[in-house]
Amino acid sequence: MDIRTVGVVGLGTMGAGIAEVFARSGFDVVAVEVTAELADQGRARIDKSLSKARDRGRLDPADYDATLGRLTFTANRADLAGADLVVEAVPERLELKTALFDELDGICGTHTVFATNTSSLPVTRLAAATKRPDRVVGMHFFNPAPVMRLVEVVHTVLTDSAVVDTVRELATACGKTPVAVRDRAGFVANALLFGYLNDAARMAETGRRSVDEIDRLVVEATGFPMGPLTLMDLIGLDVCVEVLKVMFDETRDRRYATAPLLTRLVLAGHLGRKSGRGYYSYADGNVTPAVEVPRLNNIAVPDREQPGWVAETLVYPHLDDAVRMLDDNYASREDIDTAMRLGCGYPRGPFALLDELRPPKVADALERLGYSYSPLLRYL
């Protein structure tokens, strides 16, 4: 299967980055927005990113011109007629994405592969709504797409395996590292990340530690690029609640039942960095904790007073989730580590971290803390 021309629909946060990735990798790109004005904004967004790369010496001036020359911006979806692959990055609404694929079915050739960048909608549902279910995949890029190297390539029970191979090769040709997975809520990275983030949200609510202490102790113990509450503020608390809802709906696992205070912060309009306040306040460029929960019980539980308790309580179940994912036969150790390193910026993947901490020690700690854990943990 030969992919030469790629269509990208929706030039917002993700689509602009995805269009840039393909154009920089030598593909002709037809970049589509709803109106000519929005298409112009998309062009400006990509130009800004490319200019920055050029000015910092990361993009040759000649490559800058050539990359822009490979991009066509349009508000006319019929211009996608010649695309070999179309990646949609329109807002996360099922009816919007199915209507788009329905229209593209009538515009594109029968060989054209449709890819969705959805984070949480079932790819199978989108595929089943088209006339080419065997040629629909998920191509889940991470934000910012030009920087983050992970692409989760999602196949459904309907996908032709040759299409999966082509899309994986395409991701590799774009300098990305593909991890191919079945269609399941959260794929690898979000499924693992959000249980841990929700645990941190729950801990913040107990008042046992302040939000900045939780973040600091986790970062010190793991080397993660930031603490969980800072990360939630960055993602957007509303987005976190949405993803948790999708995860909970599919798994019915209480790990994904949204921490009540997290839901209330969203109801209060405290959405994180983008609204100026979430777990932290971002007023006047200063970052200060914005959630304080008074302790209602003063019963001392010695274990919980230990400095290592926060990291054990938040990180060890997170590592156990990775072990469960392996035990579920959803992804290999290597792919799980790759996904968390390249999609979430972890310095080491969960299995590498487990090896360092030693699995029996982690299992003992989980037992002491009163958590259940995967039996596989004792055999790693």
Ligand X SMILES: NC(=O)c1ccc[n+]([C@@H]2O[C@H](COP(=O)([O-])OP(=O)(O)OC[C@H]3O[C@@H](n4cnc5c(N)ncnc54)[C@H](O)[C@@H]3O)[C@@H](O)[C@H]2O)c1
Active-site positions?
A: 119, 140, 152, 190
Residue with Cβ nearer ligand X (8 or 217): 8
Out of 91, 109, 302, 370, point to the residue binding ligand X (CB under 6 A).
91
Residue with Cβ nearer ligand X (73 or 351): 73
CB of 360 to ligand X, least distance (A): 36
67: contact with ligand X by CB under 6 A: no
Out of 143, 177, 210, 281, point to the residue binding ligand X (CB under 6 A).
143
3-state secondary structure the chain: CCCCEEEEECCCHHHHHHHHHHHHCCCEEEEECCCHHHHHHHHHHHHHHHHHHHHCCCCCHHHHHHHHHCEEEECCHHHHHHCCEEEECCCCCHHHHHHHHHHHHHHCCCCCEEEECCCCCCHHHHHHCCCCHHHEEEEEECCCCCCCCEEEEEECCCCCHHHHHHHHHHHHHCCCEEEEEECCCCCCHHHHHHHHHHHHHHHHHHCCCCHHHHHHHHHHHHCCCCCHHHHHHHHCHHHHHHHHHHHHHHHCCHHHCCCHHHHHHHHCCCCEHHHCECCEECHHHCCEECCCCCCCCCCCCHHHHCCCHHHHHHHHHHHHHHHHHHHCCCCCHHHHHHHHHHHHCCCCCHHHHHHHHCHHHHHHHHHHHCCCCCHHHHHC
Q: Which residue number places its CB atom closest to ligand X?
A: 12
Out of 86, 89, 127, 163, point to the residue binding ligand X (CB under 6 A).
89
CB of 351 to ligand X, least distance (A): 24
CB of 209 to ligand X, least distance (A): 28
How many residues form the binding site for ligand X (CB under 6 A)?
Answer: 22
Please state, in angstroms and rounded to a whole number, the distance separating the CA atoms of residues 75 and 355: 51
345: contact with ligand X by CB under 6 A: no
CB of 239 to ligand X, least distance (A): 8
Out of 13, 76, 288, 306, point to the residue binding ligand X (CB under 6 A).
13
Identify which range of 4-12, 57-65, 174-182, 206-214 contacts ligand X by CB under 6 A: 4-12
Give the contact letters, 109-138, x = binds to ligand X (CB under 6 A), - = no. --------xxx-------------------
CB of 340 to ligand X, least distance (A): 15
Out of 21, 29, 33, 322, point to the residue binding ligand X (CB under 6 A).
33
Identify which range of 5-13, 50-58, 259-267, 321-329 contacts ligand X by CB under 6 A: 5-13
32: contact with ligand X by CB under 6 A: yes
Out of 14, 53, 200, 344, point to the residue binding ligand X (CB under 6 A).
14
Listed residue (242, 230, 235) closest to 279, CA to CA: 230
Residue with Cβ nearer ligand X (141 or 224): 141
Q: How many CA atoms lie within 13 A of 167 on its CB side?
A: 32
Q: Rule CB under 6 A: which residues touch ligand X?
A: 9-15, 32-34, 38, 89-92, 96, 100, 117-119, 141, 143
